[in-house]
Structure formats: C-alpha cells, structure tokens
A and B are shown apart, each in its own frame.
Chain A
C-alpha cells in the first residue's frame, strides 16, 4: 500500500514596508513570520540535508513576500529585532533561573541564535536560502499572482488577471533565476478561463480547493487524488481535506494539543511595564514581543489558568503527532489503493505561517514527518512535487473545473460581503483606466510617461491585494486595510491626473516610488490591449 504526499506551503504576506516611519506596527507581520517560520524552515532544511534525510516539498513564495525577503531596509530592521530579542532573552535568562520557565528561555536562546546564523548565511536575503534548496532538488518553488489579488472577481476584465499572472511570473524569475512551472492562485481563487492565461505564461499546474475538482462538470474519476487537466491542459491539483484538517483545525487538529505553546500569552503583557517597555513599539502600548512561557494546558480560554510550557513534553507530542499523521495517510492510501488503478497523490496544502508562527512546534512537526517517513518504510509514503507527478502520470482526466476558493464556504464570500464590497467599483475603474492608458501609450518613448505608467501599475496591483478585503472582513487592523486600499487607489488617481494633464509633480512621483518600492522591472505594457 503506498502513495504520494505533495506537501505544499503557501508563504505569503502583503507588501508592508514603511520606511517613512521609524517604527511601524504592521511590519511586525513580516518580522514575526521571518523569525518564527521562514528562517526556522531554512534551518530545518539544513538539518535534514546534513543528516541525509530525503525530503521534498513545494513552496509558493508570493512576489510581495519575496520582495520583502530581499529588501535591505526590512532585513536591516529584522537584524535589529534580533539584537533586541537577544538582549531580552539574555536578561530573562538571568532573571528566571531556577523557575519553571528556564527551559523555555534556553529554547528561545537557541532559536534566536540559529535565526541570526541563517540571516548572515544568506547575506540578508532569505530568497537565496530557498533557492539553494531548490537547486539541490528538495524544494519545488512556485509563484503566485503578483500581489495576491483574488482573480475570480477580476474576470470581467481579463487584462487585469493577465497582469497579475504575468507580473507574478516575471518577478519570480527575476528573484529566483528560473521560470516557475506552477502557480498558487491567491486564496486558491480559481475561475473558469483563468487557465488560458496560465497557459500563455507557460504554467503547467496550479493548486485548487477540493471542489475545484470534485464539482467539475464531469464526475472526477480519482476524486482529488490525481490532478485534473483543464481544457487548456493546465493541471489542477486539489486540496485533500482530510490531511489538511488534521493539521489546520485549532480544536480537532494537532496545534490545539494541551502540551503545545500557548500563542496568546506573551511576556509583552505579563511582565512589569518598565522592564518590557524598551521591547515594545515606540507608542509604548503593550503587545506581543514573541516570548511565551505557557502551554495551552486546557480548553479554557482564561489565559490566567495556563501552566508553564515544557519543551520536552511538546517534543514528545510532535513525535506522536507526526506518526499519527503518517499513519492516517497510510490508511488513506490503503483505501485509495483499493479503488484506484494508480498511486494516489495527497495534496496537503497549508498556509506556511501556520508552522512556527501560529503553531510554534509546527516546523519540528514537519521535520519529524520527513524523518519518520524515511525511517519507517512501512508507512509507504513518498513525497513528490506536482511537476514530478505529472511526468510520472501524464494521462489525467480533463474537465471544466468549478469556480472556487479555499476561503470560508469555499467561494468568494470572504472577499465580497458587507465590510469590503465597496472596494470593487473603484478597483474596476482604476483597472479600466490602466488598460486605457497603457494601450494609448504602449509605443511611447517618453521616459517620464513610462515611469508614471509603471508606478500606476504598481499602485493598482498593490490595491488589488486580497489581504485588504480579508482584513476588513476579519475585523482586526481594519483601519490599516482600508487605508491601504484607499491610499493606493488615491495615488493611482493622482498619477493618472498627472498623465492626463501632462504635468508631473516629480516630488510626489519620487515619494510614491520610494514608498511602494516593488516590481522594479515592471512594464505597464502588461495592461496594453
């Protein structure tokens, strides 16, 4: 009994970079994800590689995240974060000796030291680290549409989708030095027809939600356990709900185990204010600083009732959860082998930041899966990428797939409801204007006009990010999401006004270029008809 696991991690953050402020709260999303997820992942790859443990997984690194991972300004601030954390951990080590928290502090000491090594090893550019493991064959890297725009809502203007895809593909190639064979459509947002645009960009496959295949126009022969070709012969690999739920679900899944670290109890709130203040933001408000000393303990949401975290207990749970994950895949394979005429593929797809950031032990869990699968052959598990699977099994069912997403309820509800539906009209108008002007000026040789149009393209792309609508819906940091949407649309309008009046305020243009510094090689012509 055997089969393939296609482990896919979708690494994404919206482009949040504010050099105009000395200290900016939302940039923390990036620093936290680097320290808790991306850098520990690179360390994990290194350990497995050095121990000759075979591993294979796929990562989609979105163009916005890749831009941040190699941005000197952000990486410099990340280094300062590391120094501050080292200082705090040093103080904590002295203060908490002979307390139940000491083992946790030693764990954090090792963590921050390893992260610093990773940062220096890859010369302050994390994309180099991921590229290294792509080159050595363990990591499949794929792209995403440029700014994670939700494509199904752009289908009335296919040029907008084309631009999202083409800029995503080009930007990936500029970062990693090769063309991506696969793409992660933002939010797994698929609509019928997008595959034609993917095919034009030489994309072989994309990842979709379960019912992209299950609700296709013809009954799926293999369910989601084999890819399905679209009429353009671009393949869809759909999410296996079972393996996902075991890991995703905070209640039923592994991350909610009582021995794992409690995310919401942090010394940023627990410690004496004057002691912790130097490690807070400049506004002095209490927030997470990243050191958490308690375990989940129970179902209770009362943070006061939590017990000290014990890294050794958590490590034991990781081993048993990894074994359980593989055991359940083995059982899935037994069932699938009895009804399929080929080896099944289980697409285990996750948000990358779940591992490490939300679920502290998640990176160790992944590592343990690879180690146990290698050690215990009886599991019958092989890890494979979508690209390699297609070469082993080039014959697949072909059908029209179902429009879908991996958001709540499986379609577009998250990104179009009462709190955020107002964005679609102005985004559409900006899109129309962009296409109109790009078409009008596609043969221009005027450098100023090109520069204006290129910045308009950046502003439009940044405004389209699905993150803003998502944040408006979820209700935290809403002001920021609204501001970002409006800000990029307003900047777009201002630049459009310059273009129409043929009068450029150079200072304004320079300022927005400086602030929204992404896609340096973009050409506005991606929008031209």
Chain B
C-alpha cells in the first residue's frame, strides 16, 4: 500500500532485505512531499544580520501580481496603527513561494505583508510574524547590569540586580592579540 516491504517480525524483516546499494534506498518508500498546502501562510525569519528568509502561500486562487511589502518597524510600538519607519515593495509573482531579502540593517525589526496593487493602492492579503535581525557589532552602550543568582543544593533564587554606569570590558582585544605564540 505504501511501498513498504513489510514483514511481521523484526528478524524476518531484516533477513528479507538483501543489502544496501546506492539506488535501492531510494526505491523503498514514497518520499514525495508537498510544496504548497492550500493554507494561508506567511512566515519570516532572520538568516543573518542583513538577510531575511520568508515563505508564503495565499490559499485562494489569485490571478493578479503579488508583492511583498517590507516594513521597517524598528523602535515602533504601534505598527497596527499604521506607524513604521519605511517600506519597500518586492515583486514575487507566485501565490506560493519563498524568497530571501538581502541588504537589511542589523538589529532592525521588520514585518512583511503580502498583497497586490489595485489602482496603485496596496491591498494586503497576509501579514507575517515580526522579525528581529541579529546584532553584528560590539555595543557602544557601557551602562551595564550585574545580577547575582544564589544557587544552593535544592533551590535557586535571584537576589539582586544592580546597574553600573560606564564599567565595561573596554580593553577587549581581538583574540590574536592576546596570545604569545609557541614555546
């Protein structure tokens, strides 16, 4: 039924198989999987500080041209009230696909919408999750917090968190500068 060569007992089954050879493995079981699922979906995640990967599917038949609108929502708390820093449109065409958006700013926040243009007005069909891009540099913020956690055998509890101003590891050196070579 499923392309499986099934025997009732493990030992019989093991013995019934002749041996492995490259293509045999590929013939054993159906491994076709779907690329589209007839389900509305729009998901994005950061791949690195400047690149974001997204996949989407609009679940209804759609003949128009589809675009992704990428909103920069860094430090924006009220995106749903129409606030954002900037946006840019990317033509994607297919109702179901995947795309990598390059050249974004590290540490920035983004949200994406899938939609089409109706008389030059963008009509949203789907919206993605929010994405925070990773940092890519040492912070210049030297106001740091120190926390103390008390551990004992049976429980652990937090004790205090204090804030220290301008007390950072400013003398950090790149690794190659700290070692003195060979004996």
Which A residues fall within an 8 A CB radius of B?
18-25, 152-153, 155-156, 192, 204, 211, 214-223, 229, 233, 240-242, 245, 281-283, 320, 323-324, 327-328, 331-332, 335-336, 339, 390-391, 394-399, 402-404, 409-413, 416-417, 421-422, 424-426, 428-429, 479-480, 483, 486-487, 489-490, 493-494, 505, 507-508, 510-511, 514
Among B30-38, B73-81, B85-93, which stretch is in contact with chain A?
Answer: B30-38
| Distance in angstroms between the alpha carbons of A169 and B156 in the assembled complex | 19
Determine how close the nearest CB of chain B comes to the CB of A180; give it in whole angstroms: 15
A-side contacts of B19, CB under 8 Å: 21-23, 282-283
Other-chain residue from B20, B41, B148 in contact with A429 (beta carbon distance below 8 A): B41
A-facing residues in B108-127 (Cβ within 8 Å) = none
B-side contacts of A395, CB under 8 Å: 146-148
Q: Is the CB of A404 within 8 A of B134?
A: yes
Other-chain residue from B13, B21, B25, B151 in contact with A394 (beta carbon distance below 8 A): B151
Q: Is the CB of A215 within 8 A of B37?
A: no
Determine how close the nearest CB of chain B comes to the CB of A218; give it in whole angstroms: 5
> Known: A215-B137, A397-B145, A411-B48. Contact between A328 and B53, CB under 8 A?
no
B47 interface residue per 8 A CB criterion: yes
Name the residue in B15, B35, B182 with the highest tally of chain A Cβ atoms < 10 Å from its Cβ. B182
Determine how close the nearest CB of chain B comes to the CB of A6; give it in whole angstroms: 16
Q: Is the CB of A281 within 8 A of B20?
A: yes
A-side contacts of B139, CB under 8 Å: 215-219
A-side contacts of B147, CB under 8 Å: 229, 233, 395-398
> Known: A390-B149, A490-B30. Contact between A413 and B141, CB under 8 A?
no
Question: What residue of chain B has the Cβ atom nearest to residue A18's Cβ?
Answer: B20
Q: Is the CB of A153 within 8 A of B134?
A: no
Other-chain residue from B14, B146, B171 in contact with A397 (beta carbon distance below 8 A): B146
Other-chain residue from A22, A211, A335 in contact with B173 (beta carbon distance below 8 A): A335
Determine how close the nearest CB of chain A comes to the CB of B115; give it in whole angstroms: 20
> Known: A20-B13, A422-B35. Contact between A332 and B179, CB under 8 A?
yes
Q: Is the CB of A399 within 8 A of B45?
A: no
Question: What residue of chain A has the Cβ atom nearest to residue B134's Cβ?
Answer: A403
Other-chain residue from A394, A421, A489 in contact with B148 (beta carbon distance below 8 A): A394
A-side contacts of B44, CB under 8 Å: 156
Other-chain residue from A424, A483, A490 in contact with B25 (beta carbon distance below 8 A): A483
| Distance in angstroms between the alpha carbons of A240 and B174 in the assembled complex | 11
A-facing residues in B1-36 (Cβ within 8 Å) = 1-2, 4-6, 10, 13-15, 17-22, 25-26, 28-35
Other-chain residue from A221, A327, A335 in contact with B167 (beta carbon distance below 8 A): A221
Q: Is the CB of A487 within 8 A of B29?
A: yes
Determine how close the nearest CB of chain B comes to the CB of A281; give it in whole angstroms: 7
Other-chain residue from B129, B136, B170 in contact with A156 (beta carbon distance below 8 A): B129
B-side contacts of A216, CB under 8 Å: 135, 139
Determine how close the nearest CB of chain B comes to the CB of A284; give it in whole angstroms: 9
30 A-B pairs whose Cβ atoms sit less than 8 Å apart in the complex: A20-B5, A20-B13, A20-B17, A22-B18, A23-B19, A192-B132, A214-B138, A215-B134, A219-B142, A219-B168, A282-B21, A327-B180, A328-B181, A332-B178, A339-B169, A339-B171, A391-B151, A394-B149, A394-B150, A396-B149, A397-B146, A411-B47, A416-B47, A425-B55, A428-B43, A480-B25, A483-B25, A487-B31, A507-B6, A511-B6
B-side contacts of A155, CB under 8 Å: 45
| Distance in angstroms between the alpha carbons of A41 and B46 in the assembled complex | 38
| Distance in angstroms between the alpha carbons of A332 and B49 in the assembled complex | 30
| Distance in angstroms between the alpha carbons of A222 and B145 in the assembled complex | 13
> Known: A219-B140, A394-B149, A514-B10. Contact between A428 and B168, CB under 8 A?
no
B-side contacts of A413, CB under 8 Å: 47-48, 51
Question: What residue of chain A has the Cβ atom nearest to residue B158's Cβ?
Answer: A233
Determine how close the nearest CB of chain A comes to the CB of B138; give it in whole angstroms: 6
B-side contacts of A335, CB under 8 Å: 173, 178
A-side contacts of B46, CB under 8 Å: 152, 403, 411-412
B154 interface residue per 8 A CB criterion: no
Determine how close the nearest CB of chain A comes to the CB of B67; give it in whole angstroms: 19
